Amino acid sequence: MKVLVTGHLGYIGGVLVPMLEAAGHEVDGCDVNFFADCVYMPEASWRGQNLAKDVRDLTLLDLEPYEAVIHLAGLSNDPLGNFDPALTIEINQTASIRLAELAKQAGVRRFLFASSCSNYGAGSGELLDEQAEFNPQTAYGHSKVGAETAVCEFASASFEPCNLRAGTVYGVAPRIRFDLVVNNLVAYALASNQVVLKSDGRAWRPLVHVSDVARAYVATLEAPSAQVAGEAFNVGLSTENYQIIEVAKLVRDAIPGAELHVLNEAFTDTRNYRVNCDKLVQRVPAYQPRWNLAAGIQELLVALSQVPVAVEDFEGRRFNRLAHLKSLIEHRVIDKSLRFTKPTP
């Protein structure tokens, strides 16, 4: 299948594209490559081309060659979304809806949208399946709710949208992010011998390895229409829901001598949800997640022991998406609307 992956040079895209090619798909990407300086480990070579466009600027002609679009591009977490909520809606919601509409007009059959379990926001405590009410707490969550709701309205016999709601992602990847909770806790603990919680740790999160997220996209791309068209899926395993304090204790116990600290000014996180992920495993049997949190922590420890990072690396511009974009704005590489200030080479 000929596939366009938007945001293919990001955290998930760097794992997904090699998987798609290994499965026999012809893959092109679309990414402006804001994070070219944020590479942690060597990236796999790939045979496709990069359209090198902002997703807000894609055209009907751009999309006509493709049978499927996997839409990963966007402002990728809550802190980044809160930087400019209006811009978050513009990129994550308005541009995504426009892209789906253009894809349908261009004859693209399958449209996989990177939604999020952030849609659930403040849950009631029980495991939430795909029928649970949305209760987003942030601009990022609102943008994902708005986009996936509208994208589903384009469904037809010839256009098959599918929304993949990933939990909080962790794990090693070429463009790893250390602004995600598991990656951050492990990296900080190795660098400082302290596991530091900035929240009170009581909030629940569904956790999922980046490779298992990529596997979900491959499986839903290849699944029969009747299994995935017009559907939404929570991505991960129902057994992989954790309170943040549990995560912190697992990290502490994995590192000899590490101490756990909860900051005095620790806040109560209103984003609090446990998620049922059984539907995807049952509906698409080809999806077989392989990771749990304990194994993921060990993977991170091995990688970070071989390629250490300092605190200023993962809390600064190199591996923190918001800090990196702020640096690009400060140096006038891009403007506040995240547009390049001069043509890219």
* 11 CB neighbour count, 10 Å cutoff: 27
Distance of CA 307 to the CA centre of its chain: 23
Would you state the structure tokens that stand for residue 145, as one six-digit string? 């709710």
Instruction: Sketch out the chain's domains with CATH numbers.
Output: 2-330 (3.40.50.720)
Task: Give, to the nearest 10 degrees, the angle between helix 244-254 and helix 293-306.
Answer: 50
Q: What angle do CA 149, 31, 289 make, to 5 degrees?
A: 60
Give 53: exposed, middle or buried? Use CB within 10 Å, 0-12, 13-18, 19+.
middle
Q: pLDDT (tens digit, 9 = 90+) per residue, 246-273?
A: 999 999 999 999 999 887 676 777 788 9
Please name every residue paired with 47 in a beta bridge, in sequence order, or none if there are none.
none
Detail the DSSP E strand segments found in 140-252.
160-166, 168-170, 194-199, 204-209, 232-235, 241-243
At 90 the pLDDT is 95
- Tell me how far apart the alpha carbons of residues 265 and 267 are, in angstroms, rounded to a whole number: 6
pTM of the prediction? 0.95
Q: What are phi and psi of 303, to 5 degrees?
A: -60, -45
pLDDT in tens, the chain (345 residues): 999 999 999 999 999 999 999 999 999 999 999 999 889 999 988 999 999 999 999 999 999 999 999 999 998 766 776 778 999 999 999 999 999 999 999 999 999 999 999 999 887 778 999 999 999 989 999 999 999 999 999 999 999 999 999 999 999 999 999 989 999 999 999 999 999 888 888 889 999 999 999 999 999 999 999 999 999 999 999 999 999 999 999 999 999 999 998 876 767 777 889 999 999 999 999 999 999 999 999 999 999 999 999 888 877 888 888 888 999 999 999 999 999 997 655
At 81 the pLDDT is 64
Alpha helical stretches, state H, 193-338: 210-222, 225-228, 244-254, 278-283, 293-306, 311-315, 321-330
Question: Taking Cα atoms as reference points, which of 25, 10, 48, 6 lies closest to residue 219?
Answer: 25
- Tell me how far apart the alpha carbons of residues 211 and 22 are, in angstroms, rounded to a whole number: 14
Kind of pairing between the strands at 241-243 and 204-209: antiparallel
